[in-house]
Amino acid sequence: MVRTEYSPNRIGGDAKRVTPVTQPADGCEVTNVKDLTRASATAPARASATASASRAPAAVSQPPMPPVELPPLPDRFAPQVAAELGWDGSVLQPMTVLGRRVIMVAELLHDVHLDRVPRGWGPVTDRMSVAMWSWPELADTAPEPAVRIRGVIASARHWRTALTAATPFAGLAPTALLLPPGPAREPGCLTHAEFYGASVVATADRDRVDLVQQGRRGRLATAGSSTISRWVHEVVYDRLVAEAC
């Protein structure tokens, strides 16, 4: 069935507009032609997606990976390293300084320590407070360092990790890399350690150590005092007082 309607033309006259009308059958409900078209187009897509989801394999749960057990760090050999290199002083427990895990070998200056305690100048570990000691107003009142750092030991399983931990302290004291026997004798380890002046010490059986390569016997000659080095001395002073005194 076709319905004819008339609408006025912009120029003149009447324009015919033909609109298709679906003629319902007896007892049937009128359905929009567009709805039928949309339903017929999307129904196969939904059916295909449902079928694909039903055919997808179920996720297989993987068993948890067992934890990786690394060999222990050779920290217990630190006193032997200090004795092998001739570093006098107390071997402190491993500590984190400047983001590096190291073992400090330090000596307490008893005369300075006894002078600081009555004046109320104990260890000052606040970095901002130590930085202000370089101000002209406080230069004459700042306390003297009460410890002497004899050496810095970097204990690690790999030589790159030990070298990264030891090199920032080359301006304070001689440094040493404490490594297992294999990594301590790698050519790359010995070459880089020689360049940075660090000694290389390897662990051995029965709590013994082997000096693989001798490094610099003192601190870096061109290094001077700074607020960072002053603060490191205070941190070591605080640890030494807590452990040895």
Reported as a single tens digit per residue, the pLDDT across 58-91 is: 566 777 777 766 667 889 999 999 999 999 999 9
- Answer yes or no: is 101 within a domain: yes
- Answer yes or no: is 39 within a domain: no
Report the greatest alpha carbon distance in the chain.
Answer: 118
- Answer yes or no: is 58 within a domain: no
pLDDT less than 50: residues of the chain: 2, 4-7, 9-12, 14-16, 18-19, 21-22, 25, 27-42
- Answer yes or no: is 152 within a domain: yes
Per the structure, the complete domain to which residue 87 belongs is given by 75-244
Number of domains in the chain: 1
Taking CB atoms within 8 Å and a gap of at least 24, the contacts of 121-124 are: 122/241, 123/234, 123/235, 123/237, 123/238, 123/241, 124/234
Task: Flag whether the pTM goes above 0.95.
Answer: no
- Answer yes or no: is 107 within a domain: yes
pLDDT attached to residue 210 = 95
pLDDT attached to residue 35 = 47
- Answer yes or no: is 210 within a domain: yes
- Answer yes or no: is 32 within a domain: no
DSSP the chain: -EEEEEEE-SSSSEEEEEEE---PPTT-----HHHHHHHHHHHHHHHHHHHHHHHSPPPPPPPPPPPP-PPPP-GGGHHHHHHHHT--SEEPPPEEETTEEEEEEEEE-HHHHHHHTTTT------HHHHHGGGSTTTTTTSPPP-EEEEEEEEE-SSHHHHHHHHGGGTTTS-EEEEE-HHHHT-HHHHHHHHHHT-EEEEE-STT-EEEEE---SSS-TT----HHHHHHHHHHHHHHHHHH-
- Answer yes or no: is 102 within a domain: yes
Q: Which two tokens stand for residue 136?
A: 């002209």
pLDDT attached to residue 97 = 96
